[in-house]
Structure 1
Amino acid sequence: MHTKKWLQTTLAVVMASALLIVGCSNGNSGEKDSASGGKNSEVSKEPVTFDYFAFGTNRDTMASDTTIGKILQEQTGVDWKMEFVVGDASTKSGVMIAGGDYPDVISPVGELAKFLDAGALIPLNDLIEKYGPNIKRVYGDYMNKITNEDGNIYILPFTANVNGYLSPPDPTSTFWMQRRVLKEFGYPQVKTLDQYFDLIEKYQAKYPSVDGKNTIGFVTFASTAGEFFTITNQPMHLAGYPNEGGVMVDMETHEAKLYQGTEDEKRWLAKLNEMNGKGLFDPESFTANKDQYLAKLTSGRVLGFASYSWQIPDATTNLRTAGNDDLRYVALPIVYEENIKDAYVDPPSFVNNRGLGISVSAKDPERIIKYWDNLLTDENQKLVQWGEEGVTYSKNADSRMVMTEKQLTDRNDNDFKHKYGFAYFDYEWPRYGDNSVYEDGNAHVPFNQPEVAAINYTEGDKALLKAYKLDTFSDLYAEPVERPWYPAWSIEKEPGSPEQLFSQRAGDLQQKFYPRMVLASPGEFEADWNEYMAEYNKLDAKGYEGFMTGKVKNRIDGKW
């Protein structure tokens, strides 16, 4: 079981952090600066509403229309008009930058370098120093990783692990298979890509339609530039590497090698081409929008698909709520060959280019930073992850946080998650990283808590675990290997730099040629691949690899 902790915070560091926090309390922030939270009368509660902007599929809302948002508003006087934009983040950010008028706070996802280059975000250093004791506590060990080369901090990332590292009991790969497929054939071992597709092919041949609707062999989401990585990332996973973005990093030499243009990429595309020729690949993978893609998964017609779990929470939740475990999916650690060790479970990591920043258009940065600091108390981190004791979670005799069946049912319901606020506050805010542990020993993320994970299993889950002789689904996966640089995809490329231009042009080639290669008649694949490689070889792949290798080695040396 993957329940061991990487306890990265030593007693000395904890004591040093405590001294830092105590030292901060002598300032004039007017806020109580302990992990347990609390405010005093010097903090203004004058009502104010700020604009919050993020790229994603969430529903627009006022924070105060959620239970969590209302509680935080009562603490601070601050409300948020929350806007989420679906689509091409690059285009959306370009329009925003061209207009020069920004919302108060922005979660820029992969567009951070562009926003920084445009001068759209303000430095947070002085605000943190004056009003951020909890920010210092949470990000203290990561300050060198969130400080830009110009000496400024522009965003507060989402992955700062506090009090150690608790590995999740149920990690997920990117390859999913419908459970009825496994059930039909007596729960066989499925390890390789060939085994995976062979099983799908056998099932579809036996059941070409269910309830009058055609089954769909395999689908993925590759219709937008922003999420095209869903299809391009798979060669590295199949080759036994974790999600590093465009490169695979050698564990001994620490050299970063692109997998684009390699036999690993060709093998993946050739397999999809083969599946398409057999009618097992859904061509709408390249054209369907996100809602249409999620609707297909929720329909239960899809036998297999590739996506990261964080891309599809609504679909997986809706399928669970529907109550038919046979139509749900299980993630499998699929690789090319039996002897390849999978690397789907993330090692301890810190992502320094995904976070929330304050824009130059912000009306009152001081109130915003105070709100964030208040959010980073243990008390409020429990609120945004667990909710309220006696309402959305309970405590057992050992003071362990647990959930009743009713509380668990609510937590697994999409409408409830939006109404209560979990859907809005559990991620894209300054926060403890998912693998954090509270000072009282409870897991930060409810489903990382062993007691919750155990009762979260449905009868179908238990049957599947029993069939494969597993205690948890994590038992399917190899233990993660620590990578001090991880993840390499968070290494920033300056706008207009050779590295950024290479990434853009190489990605453009993938978007142009992947549909052609996958949907081509089998006899045309090789010619399409050769044409793709002829174009790719015009790019400076070696220069890019040298840049990434240098950055990886810098991170190993502590230079982020």
Structure 2
Amino acid sequence: MAKKLWTAGMAAALAVSMTACSSGNNNGNASSAAPAGSSSAPASGSASATATASASEKPLDKVTFSFFNGVAGEKDLNTNETTIGKMLEDQTGVNFKIEHLVGDLNTKIGTMIASDQYPDVIIPDAAIEEVLKAGAFIPLDDLIEQYGPNIKRVYGPYFERMRADYGGKIYFLPFGPQVGEYVADPNINQGAFWVQRRVLKEAGYPKIKTLDEYVKLVEDYVAKHKDENLTGMITLTHDWRFFATSNPPMHLAGFPNDGNVMVDINTNEAKTYAGSENEKRWLKTLNDLNGKNLFDKASFVDNYDQYIAKLTSHKVVGFFDYGWQIGNAMNVLKDAARKDQAQDDYVYFPLPVTFDGTHDQYLDPPGWTSNRGAGITKSAKDPARIIQYWDNLLTDDNQVLKSWGIKGETYEVDDKGRFYRTADQIAKLDDAFNEKFGFKTYDWDWPQYGTSSTLADGNAVAPGFQPEVFQLSLTEGDKTILDKYGVQTYAQMFDKPEDRPWFPAWSIPKEQGSPQQIWETKKDDLLKKYYAKLVLAKPADFEGVWADYMKEFGKLDTAGYEKWYTEQIKKIVEVAK
């Protein structure tokens, strides 16, 4: 695979991830007429015209497929209940009835496997290896060859990697391959140390680069405002989101989010930061803050909703987290600031904090997530219609539809062909509108261009990555603080990401029950057992608790885990040359 593929890359999205029930077995060779819109064409700038241009000359019989998404917390619906989904149904005759996870993912997938009956399409999220091992997904190679010209165009550069990961066959389509030129996100949707803007304003907008500087900034502000009952720092530990508390050591050491390992960019050697001095230093920092009554002890019992509520309470001075995970809180704070500029003080600002203050890698490099995606199951009644729908979705025009919407309604085009949104259009894109229109439904869990991709005409696929949209979305408070730091975007506060062909390492497939998967499970259990003890211990007792933690951690085969990861990463680097 060409090296340039990885240089182009994509912004990973973490992540993070249907019931006209069908039965019977299908080997993937079912025949259906391909929709006329299955060939790629340059974006016309008019998604409303796409439905007419792409519709089959002879209307296809309408069909509803069941679609299970193994991610909780989203609304179940039929895609044709949304504007985008109805337009796509008009083109293809296909509707999907989407069911999202309720309860435990492994239990839900296990029940499907035990019955050997599946929805037509599954996004198994973290249980994808179990679905593959059960033989629930059908190979897609022949279907793609027969019905997928756009799939071949978009995913073709990745086929070698996809087949190498899964025994020479393609069983599912991952989300977000890079298409066109790479365009950086001007916002910070990845990791950062966040602090209220009023803290920076009062301190004279200092350049904060080290963890010690960040902690002192927080301590000094709380000390000056004792009457406000402020919380210095908070962390998120609820359920699978525990990584918001356990990931900082790798970022503080100057590495991107590769999961459980930090990978040397020169030697490709993988080392875990669990049980390391980096982890110890981070936890000792939280322990010291707790000893000074500056850390929220409830961080270890609060759920996600309680965490978000605290971030919008104006009482939390700082925290570490990923921008995509705090989006709900940031939207509330920014909406308030738009209505009352004084409220801008409570909006959070991202800082690229490291231990030594020299080189940060918070921004994701171009990457390829190979262990998440959507597959067609052996229960599917007409795999060809599903693959045709996906292929039709991958035209430039339909990528414009799912991301930008309809010209004249949710975006405009200037005389140079550049897409933009008016202030009124931006204002109406609230949760209710996005849900009804389909922007939420078609946001991520489909075969699609990567977020950092560009269209054939040079426009960004993601509206938020388009400079014209980003600048118009800024509040007066945004403009003021960016100007104080001499930048035009938040991303310019951070170092540019380095090219890492394996990124993100966490997406390298691991079989359920493998030594690597067992190591991760045991390690996670240890962290959840000891982190609260370490952070909430009396400062004088910290070393003793750390010794207990390391004694148990030493029982894990960490050397074997690191050796396996290093071997996998070096294989990927060879493929990418």
User: 1:314 touches 1:414 (CA, 8 Å); kept in 2?
Assistant: no
CA offsets 1:80-132 (integer angstroms, 9 cap, x no match): 33233366544554455445443332222222212212223222222212221
For 1:257, what is the secondary structure of its paired residue?
A: strand
User: 1:53 touches 1:103 (CA, 8 Å); kept in 2?
Assistant: no
1:64-463 matched pairs, under 5 angstroms: 64-85=80-101, 89-98=105-114, 100-147=116-163, 148-172=165-189, 173-208=191-226, 210=228, 214-224=229-239, 226-323=240-337, 324-339=343-358, 341-411=359-429, 413-463=430-480
Cα distance in 2, alignment partners of residues 428 and 89 from structure 1: 16
CA offsets 1:3-22 (integer angstroms, 9 cap, x no match): xx99749xxxxxxxxxxxxx
Question: Once the 2 structures are TM-superposed, how far is the Cα of residue 530 of structure 1 from its aligned partner?
Answer: 0.7
In structure 2, what residue type is equivalent to 1:235? P
**More displaced 10-residue stretch of structure 1: 396-405 or 127-136:** 127-136
In structure 2, what residue type is equivalent to 1:128? I
Cα distance in 2, alignment partners of residues 115 and 431 from structure 1: 22
Instruction: Report the counterpart of residue 14 of structure 1 in structure 2.
Output: none
In structure 2, what residue type is equivalent to 1:266? K
Cα distance in 2, alignment partners of residues 402 and 191 from structure 1: 34
Change (3 A) 1:318 1:246: same
For 1:144, what is the secondary structure of its paired residue?
A: helix
For 1:70, what is the secondary structure of its paired residue?
A: helix
Cα distance in 1, alignment partners of residues 107 and 350 from structure 2: 32
TM-score normalised over the length of structure 1:
0.90
For 1:122, what is the secondary structure of its paired residue?
A: coil
Cα distance in 2, alignment partners of residues 69 and 509 from structure 1: 44
Cα distance in 2, alignment partners of residues 181 and 516 from structure 1: 30
Cα distance in 2, alignment partners of residues 201 and 89 from structure 1: 41
Match of residue 497, structure 2, among 466, 470, 480: 480
Segments of 5+ residues of structure 1 without an aligned counterpart are 10-26
Change (3 A) 1:216 1:69: farther
Cα distance in 2, alignment partners of residues 456 and 169 from structure 1: 11
For 1:355, what is the secondary structure of its paired residue?
A: coil
Change (3 A) 1:547 1:78: same
Cα distance in 2, alignment partners of residues 331 and 501 from structure 1: 35
Cα distance in 2, alignment partners of residues 509 and 188 from structure 1: 38
Segments of 5+ residues of structure 2 without an aligned counterpart are 10-31, 42-49, 338-342
Instruction: Report the counterpart of residue 471 of structure 1 in structure 2.
Output: 488
Cα distance in 2, alignment partners of residues 387 and 71 from structure 1: 11
Cα distance in 1, alignment partners of residues 220 and 104 from structure 2: 37
For 1:156, what is the secondary structure of its paired residue?
A: coil
**Ranges of 4+ aligned residues in structure 1 off by more than 6 Å:** none
Q: Aligned pair count?
A: 533
Instruction: Report the counterpart of residue 28 of structure 2 in structure 1.
Output: none
Instruction: Report the counterpart of residue 27 of structure 2 in structure 1.
Output: none
For 1:397, what is the secondary structure of its paired residue?
A: coil
Change (3 A) 1:361 1:215: farther
Cα distance in 2, alignment partners of residues 280 and 359 from structure 1: 51
For 1:557, what is the secondary structure of its paired residue?
A: helix
Cα distance in 2, alignment partners of residues 93 and 188 from structure 1: 50
Instruction: Report the counterpart of residue 18 of structure 1 in structure 2.
Output: none
Cα distance in 2, alignment partners of residues 76 and 432 from structure 1: 20
Change (3 A) 1:87 1:175: farther
In structure 2, what residue type is equivalent to 1:116? L
User: 1:144 touches 1:559 (CA, 8 Å); kept in 2?
Assistant: no
Change (3 A) 1:60 1:494: same
In structure 2, what residue type is equivalent to 1:240? G
Structure number with the bigger relative contact order (C-alpha 8 A, sep ≥ 6) is 2
1:540-555 matched pairs, under 5 angstroms: 540-555=557-572
User: 2:117 touches 2:379 (CA, 8 Å); kept in 1?
Assistant: yes
CA offsets 1:14-47 (integer angstroms, 9 cap, x no match): xxxxxxxxxxxxx963534322372423562424
Cα distance in 2, alignment partners of residues 92 and 277 from structure 1: 43
Change (3 A) 1:30 1:298: same
Cα distance in 2, alignment partners of residues 527 and 311 from structure 1: 34
In structure 1, what residue type is equivalent to 2:230? T
Question: Once the 2 structures are TM-superposed, how far is the Cα of residue 382 of structure 1 from its aligned partner?
Answer: 0.7
CA offsets 1:335-387 (integer angstroms, 9 cap, x no match): 11123x00011111111112112233334322221211111111111111111
Cα distance in 2, alignment partners of residues 320 and 168 from structure 1: 18
For 1:166, what is the secondary structure of its paired residue?
A: coil
In structure 2, what residue type is equivalent to 1:535? E
CA offsets 1:204-231 (integer angstroms, 9 cap, x no match): 2233465xxx43322222121x222221
For 1:362, what is the secondary structure of its paired residue?
A: coil
For 1:343, what is the secondary structure of its paired residue?
A: coil
Question: Once the 2 structures are TM-superposed, how far is the Cα of residue 493 of structure 1 from its aligned partner?
Answer: 1.3
User: 2:35 touches 2:388 (CA, 8 Å); kept in 1?
Assistant: no
Question: Once the 2 structures are TM-superposed, how far is the Cα of residue 241 of structure 1 from its aligned partner?
Answer: 0.3
User: 1:44 touches 1:76 (CA, 8 Å); kept in 2?
Assistant: yes
User: 1:31 touches 1:42 (CA, 8 Å); kept in 2?
Assistant: no
Question: Once the 2 structures are TM-superposed, how far is the Cα of residue 397 of structure 1 from its aligned partner?
Answer: 1.4
Cα distance in 2, alignment partners of residues 161 and 6 from structure 1: 9
Cα distance in 1, alignment partners of residues 405 and 360 from structure 2: 35
Cα distance in 2, alignment partners of residues 503 and 7 from structure 1: 29
In structure 2, what residue type is equivalent to 1:132? G
In structure 2, what residue type is equivalent to 1:465? L
Instruction: Say yes or no: does 1:57 pair with 2:76.
Output: no
In structure 1, what residue type is equivalent to 2:291? G
* Cα root mean square deviation, aligned: 2.3
Cα distance in 1, alignment partners of residues 520 and 454 from structure 2: 37
For 1:229, what is the secondary structure of its paired residue?
A: helix
Instruction: Report the counterpart of residue 530 of structure 1 in structure 2.
Output: 547
Change (3 A) 1:63 1:301: farther
